Structure 1
Amino acid sequence: MATISPVGAHASSGRDVEKDILQNQPATEVPDDSKTDTDDDSSHVQEGVKRIEAITTVWSKKSLWSTFALLWLVSFVSALLSSIDTALSPYVTSSFSKHGLLAVINIAARVIGGVVTLSLGKLIDIRGRAEGFVGSLLLITVGMIMKATCQNVETYAAAQVFTWVGKVALGFIINVFVADITTLKNRMFIFALNSTPNLATTFAGPKIAELFYQRVNFRWAFGAFTIILLVVCLPVVAILYYHEKKAKQLGVLRPKANRTTIQSILYYISEFDLIGAVLISGGFTLITLPFSLVSSASHSWQSASIIVMIVMGVVGLVAFVIWERYFSRVKFFPFEFLKDRTFLGAVLSHFVVFMTTFVWDAYYSSYLQVVHGLSISISNYVLNAYSLTSYFTGPFIALYIRYTGRVKYPAMAAIPIYLLGTALLIYFRVPSSQVGYLVMCQVLVGFGVGMIGQMAELAAMASVRHQDVAVALAIYGLFGSVGSSVGYAVAGGLWTNILPQKLYEFLPEQNKNMTAAIYGDINKQMAYPIGTPIRDAVIAAYGDVMRKMVIVGSALIPLTIICVLVWKNINVKKLETVEKRARGNVF
């Protein structure tokens, strides 16, 4: 690991920092207590960016490394909670006889989660990183409390939106904060280190979920780990506020201008462009949801409700473009970023990768349990071999970036590996296949996706200034969220339109009246031993629909080649400038 190069405030201790700042600050920049930063002053470098740059100026190496350690711990607990949540989701929906709604529930959550990051990017730039961190914790807490107490699938669906948005926000804040305190060539290395907890949670999460489900219930699992997450996050909040206060005391950070409550409300409504946020999130949600709802008893492609949803979704997106172009004072979506072909290609590659993955991944855990008879923990181990490989290879890929600075050609080299792993699933994802071959495919996919993802994220950040990194990451996340929601929509459409029909077709004549009950509950799908006529019918139906999902996902992967080809052949090592010195003590 590279050593920190003390820059800016050459700090080895808190006292040295104060002495260096007060003695070396030019006279023209000595702060006047009577002065405050107005919102207009933040037009070039917004308040939240100024605050984090002030914090990195007054903290020491010890504070820097302590922050890295605390963020790693937060990432660990957050990943563990996510792993438990994912493993239990099929059983939560099945408890309400709505197992088939897994994809539907995730569509709205993914779209809203992606859209919210744009507002969050503005919030943390205007207000500060700590406020965004606290807000994301609040969303996760509310969502998990709702999950722990839900009595119907509607409440669970709402809880999933809160939880997912909170998780996305928390990961986004951590990434932005890491971007604030690292240079480009070292950034992906810290990103990769913050992903290493997944090497443990991949195995621990499913087993913990299984133990809670078998010995207690899913409600206690959600409650217990939400409390743990809150406890480990408090030190991060404390260290941010402590150094912000210190920066104010030293005069490095000026106090903000005072506004009345009404002025603040009007200001933030304008700054966050709530109308634009509602239009874009509603538009994407209304377009993608019908694919999963169309097969229900009250819906079909000819029904008025489905047609209205699609039309209103298109109208919402068109209205969003018109609003942003002609009426919005502060643009919700910075379209000018998309004029850079590297940035555009990076976010589109993220979109395609997420879309193609979630087409076949949405019901994979259920497939492994029903078709191959695996337990909750073992099925999720197989499922998570994808992410496990990505997290394991992440630090090595990051070291490659650090020493070569290249991002485009490694991404190109990873695409054939991703395509190979997915295409092999067409052959191996059949009931007669051995589970080991499925793990092999997951490893190949995980390596390819991990490399493409790291290169694309760094390419997006390298295309903008430091003060725009938060918004750039938000746009990157939005494209990924919309991509996953499209993948879920396709998966949900295939699942809800094909599986019930195949179940009815394959079930014995005397059991065809059980189609709806079996379709809606994973426990009923596994209630009959493998080898019995009913279980074999379920397995055959699963095999048919899953094969179609993988074919669709594989056919769309070549789009990634086009997305990566348009990148400039940038070298992030050569992009490092005096910006590092201006940002204080960073790695």
Structure 2
Amino acid sequence: MASTDRQTDRGLDHGLGTTQASEKEADVAQAPGNGVFTTDPDNNSDQESLDHEAQAGVKAVQAAAAVWTKSQLVLAYVIIWFIYFVTSIQEVVIRSLNPYVTSAFSLHSLTAATSIMSNIIGGLSKIPLAKILDSWGRPQGMALMLFIWIIGFIMMAACDGVQTYAAAQVFSSVGSQGVSYCLTVFISDTSALKNRALMLSFATSPYIITTWIGGPISQSVLEGPGWRWGFGVFTIVVPVVVAPLCILFFFNQRKAKKLGLLTPSSGPITLSVVKKYCIEVDLFGIILLAGGMALFLLPFSLWSYQEDQWRSPMIICMIVFGGLLLIAFALYEKFWAPVTFIPFSLLMDRTVFFAGLMFVFEFFNSMVWGSYFSSMLQVVWGLNVTEASYVSAIYRVGSCLWCLLVGFLIRWTGRFKWLVVYFAMPLMILGVGLMIKFRQHDVNIGYICMTQIFVAFAGGTIVVCGELAMMAPSDHQHIAVILAMLNLFSSIGSAIGSTVSAAIWTSEFPKALAKYVPADVSVAKVYSDINAQLSYAWGSTARTAIAHAYGDAQRYMLITSVCMLAVAWACAGMWRDIRIKDVKQVKGTVI
């Protein structure tokens, strides 16, 4: 039974502490006929249910929630399910095609490097996007992200080099992550906190199905029209499934305006309005942080391609100027920024801060050993693209399926910390630790699948509970910003993980190849092209040597990952044990 009441005076003190439901709220929650879909029972009218001090975008979603019907809310969740259905397919396809794109330009070892910029900018883009959602509106923000996503697909399909492909990944990452972020914000807008984990798990449940479809699609694309069409087809499919949700949003916002719940927009967009917006989102600070991280992290994956390697002037300049930009960012945010894009009052909440740090180390962990996993499955264990995608899909399927149970457990107990501290983190460390032993060329693939199952159950639990840890101390007004911070922490972790993965790979893999492969095998060619690696017969001396080299490089990656997971476990232990059944955040017709 779910009930969403008027936001009580929670005494958050910047999000600190939990709340207890008032006697009136308890009476309403137990009233007969109060089912899964509820409205704000404390309000006498829809107009009163709006938070008049909230920003325009928050008011708009509250007004829409006040006027839409239960059937429209159900329809919205059905559309979200189909959006994730298509999104999950394209993620599998792109992940499977990625090594073949870089290999097409004889730069397979840049597979991880191409995602560094996209992870950094994709994460930082949530900050201005949060402001767009709060000040402009949810459907407007989603429509903008859809447009950017389509541009990314077009660029991917038409790319003529790794540089263009990396730029295309930035657009695609900003767009796809932006749409996913908008959906998460929408689910947070329309679900009670105690049911939110369950609804987020429901929304991502298509991964249970589609991860088995993406592999055959990737295989058929590579064997048929080629990888460019693998990107091109989504330029048509994605807008077809995303547009209906935007239309439904716009329809209910217009309905709310007709009923007088929303006032018309204040006027046209002028230069002064744009300037004010740039200040409010701290655009200069975002540029400093993005530029600094990109310049500082990219050299660790590019140094091996320079003639002088670490002594190359370009590598030295990128590291130095990247470091200076990061220092400038810290000083600017501390002393000169009119508005800081990081909401420090919320970020400094113990649970929010350590949940964010946990996401950094958790996503670092997955990217360190995951960047070259698809290639390893094909080269070391002789799987084709479809079979490799099935093994990679174990994480997606297992985590999404397990999250449904986690959602019910959180709704039943009203707490989430115990699931991470006593179950998920120990299981994750066990799974990754076992990979050190089993990710070798002479180990049966069944052991690899077993470790993926462990990691899947642990990872799904960690992500859902981490999201709740960041949202629970907040209120509705700051949900979009908090989720933006969550994505920023995750993207920073992914970017650093990709950097470390690429650095280990470019350092250890060619040395291992030179150590193991026969003299008549070109190390440079094998190092730069997955097709060259696969060209040697399964079981041949050269193929076994290449597989051995993969195992050596992966060992360093996995040891690094286990060390970072220990820090993530400590971060989770610092959360407060919040009872989310007592927290009321959203208004209107919700789940």
TM over 0.5: yes
Q: Is the counterpart of residue 585 in structure 1 residue 569 in structure 2?
A: no
- Alignment match, 1:16: none
Q: How does 1:296-315 map to 2 (within 5 A)?
A: 296-315=305-324
1:268 aligned to 272, 277, 284, which one?
A: 277
The partner residue of 1:54 within 63, 74, 88 is 63
Relative distance call for 1:260 and 1:202 in structure 2 (3 A) is closer
Distance 2:174 2:47 in 1: 42
Q: TM-score, normalised by structure 2?
A: 0.91
Distance 2:248 2:191 in 1: 17
Query: 1:497 is aligned with what amino acid?
Result: S
1:305 CA drift (Å): 2.3
- Partners in 2 of 1:256 and 1:319 — Cα distance? 37
User: Do residues 557 (structure 1) and 561 (structure 2) align?
Assistant: no
1:527 matched to 2:535: yes
SS at match of 1:349: helix
Give the match for residue 481 of structure 1.
Answer: 491
Q: Tell me if the contact between 2:153 and 2:234 (Cα under 8 Å) persists in the aligned partners.
A: no
Aligned to 1:358: 367
Question: How far, CA to CA, are the matches of 2:167 and 2:348 in structure 1?
Answer: 36
Quote the offset at 1:551 in angstroms.
1.5
CA distance change for structure 1 residues 537 and 55 in 2, over 3 Å: closer, same or farther? Answer: same
TM-superposed CA distance for 1:335, in Å, is: 2.1
For residues 159-191 of structure 1, the C-alpha deviation after alignment (integer angstroms, 9 at most, x for no partner) is 111111111111110000110011100111110
Kept after mapping to 1: 8 A contact 2:107/2:529:
yes
Q: Is the 8 A contact 2:79 2:244 kept in 1?
A: yes
Q: Could you tell me how far apart the structure 1 residues matched to 2:265 and 2:144 are?
A: 20
The residue number in structure 1 matching 2:505 is 495
Shift of 1:537: 2.2
Deviation at 1:300, TM superposition (A): 2.5
Equivalent in the alignment of 2:444: 434
Aligned equivalents of 2:41, 2:252: Cα separation in 1: 14
Farther off after superposition, 301-310 or 386-395:
301-310
| Alignment partners' CA distance in 2, 1:531 and 1:313 | 45
When residues 523 and 342 of structure 1 are mapped into structure 2, their CA distance, relative to the original with a 3 A threshold, is: same
State the distance in 1 between where 2:278 and 2:173 align: 23
Q: Are 2:210 and 1:206 equivalent residues in the alignment?
A: no
Structure 1 contact 8–585 (Cα < 8 Å) conserved: yes
CA deviation after TM superposition for structure 1 residue 299, in Å: 4.8
Matched, 1:539 2:552: no
Where does residue 144 of structure 2 map in the other structure?
A: 135
- For 1:408 and 1:135, locate their aligned partners in 2 and report how far apart those are by CA, in whole Å: 36
- Partner-residue secondary structure (3-state), 1:568: coil
* Secondary structure at the counterpart of residue 118 of structure 2: helix
In structure 2, the residue matched to 1:90 is 99
What is residue 418 of structure 1 aligned with on the other side?
428
What displacement does 1:259 show?
4.2
Q: 1:277 to 1:210 in 2, by over 3 A?
A: same
User: Is 1:63–2:72 an aligned residue pair?
Assistant: yes
CA change 1:25–1:203 in 2 (3 A) is: closer
Counterparts of 1:556 and 1:25, CA distance in 2 = 49
Taking the aligned partners of 2:551 and 2:341, their CA distance within structure 1 comes to 43
> Which residue of the partner structure matches residue 239 of structure 1?
248
User: Shift of the alpha carbon at 1:446?
Assistant: 1.0
Indicate the larger mover: 291-300 or 334-343. 291-300
Deviations 1:208-238 (A, max 9, x none): 1111111221111211123111101111011
SS at 2:134 equivalent: helix
Letter paired with 1:516: A
Please say if 1:469 is aligned against 2:486.
Answer: no
The TM-score with structure 1 as length reference comes to 0.92
Q: Using the alignment, how far apart are the partners of 2:288 and 2:352 within structure 1?
A: 24
Q: Is the 8 A contact 1:103 1:492 kept in 2?
A: yes
Are residues 1:573 and 2:584 paired?
no
Q: Which letter maps to 1:545? A: A
* 8 Å Cα contact 1:293/1:299 also seen in 2: no
- Select which of 112, 118, 128 maps to 2:127: 118
Q: Percent identity of the aligned residues? A: 37
**Aligned-partner SS, 1:396:** helix
For 2:216 and 2:41, the matched residues in 1 are separated by 47
Amino acid at match of 2:553: V
| Structure 1 residue 569 displacement after superposition | 0.9
Structure 1 unmatched runs, 5+: 12-19, 32-40
Residue aligned with 1:473, SS? helix
Three-state SS of the structure 1 residue aligned to 2:557 is: helix
Quote the Cα distance in structure 1 between the aligned partners of 2:36 and 2:457: 29
| Contact map agreement 1:120 1:169 (CA 8 A) in 2 | yes
Q: What do the CA deviations read for 1:61-116 (whole angstroms, capped 9, x no partner)?
A: 11111111111111111111111111111111111111100111111110111111
CA distance in 1, matches of 2:564, 2:110: 24
Residues 285 and 341 in structure 2, CA contact (< 8 A), matched pair in contact too: yes
| 2:504 equivalent to 1:460 | no
Shift of 1:438: 0.2
2:398 maps to 1:389:
yes
* Cα distance in 2 between the residues matched to 1:249 and 1:393: 43
* Aligned-partner residue type, residue 557 of structure 2: M
Give the 3-state SS of the residue equivalent to 2:228 in structure 1. helix
1:45 Cα deviation (Å)? Answer: 1.2
Offset at residue 277 of structure 1 (A)? 1.0
After superposition, the Cα gap between the structure-2 partners of 1:429 and 1:54, relative to the gap in structure 1 and judged at 3 Å, is: same
CA distance in 2, matches of 1:471, 1:298: 44
Distance in 1, Cα, partners of 2:475 & 2:417: 20
Distance change in 2, residues 1:179/1:260 (3 Å): closer
Q: 3-state DSSP class of the match of 1:6?
A: coil
Pair 1:6-2:38 in alignment: yes
Q: Secondary structure at the match of 2:261?
A: coil
Contact kept in structure 2, 1:123 and 1:272, CA below 8 Å: no
CA distance in 1, matches of 2:325, 2:469: 31
Number of the residue aligned with 1:229: 238
2:309 match: secondary structure = coil
Tell me: CA distance 1:299–1:482, structure 2 relative to 1, closer, same or farther (3 Å): farther
Q: Distance in 2 between matches of 1:316 and 1:336?
A: 24
1:553 Cα offset (Å): 0.9
How far residue 415 of structure 1 moved from its aligned partner, in angstroms, is 0.8
Following TM superposition, the consecutive aligned residue runs of length 4 or more in structure 1 with deviations greater than 6 angstroms are none
Aligned to 1:285, the other structure's residue is in SS state: helix
* Amino acid paired to 2:467: E
Q: Equivalent residue for 2:23? A: none
Tell me what 1:35 maps to: none
Q: Which residue of 2 aligns with 1:255?
A: 264
Q: Deviations over 1:425-452 (max 9, x none)?
A: 0111110111111000001011111111
CA distance in 1, matches of 2:102, 2:176: 20
